[in-house]
Amino acid sequence: MDSVVNRRTIGGEDAPVPLAGPDADFPGLDRVTVSLLLTLAGIGLVTIRLRVDGVEANATQLAFR
């Protein structure tokens, strides 16, 4: 993948990205795997943001119990 993941946050905290690249099953689709932080346990609803090549993707939200 030629794209660069510039920033990824979960609940405002930087999140590690162990894998970013082309998806093996869907040609033309890139996959980004983000490691979840232990500090998210029980935090409730958080916003997930991803920026690739300087372009912000649509934010989404997840709830953590």
Q: Print the domain residue range for 29.
A: 5-64
14 with 7: CB under 8 angstroms? Answer: yes
Beta 44-52 vs 60-64: how paired, if at all? antiparallel
Query: pLDDT tens digits for 7-37?
Result: 788 888 888 888 888 889 999 988 888 888 8
Whose structure tokens read 């869907």? 26
* 8 Å CB contact between 51 and 58: no
| 3-class secondary-structure state, position 9 | strand
In the chain, the number of structural domains is: 1
Each residue of 40-61: pLDDT tens digit? Answer: 899 999 999 988 888 888 999 9
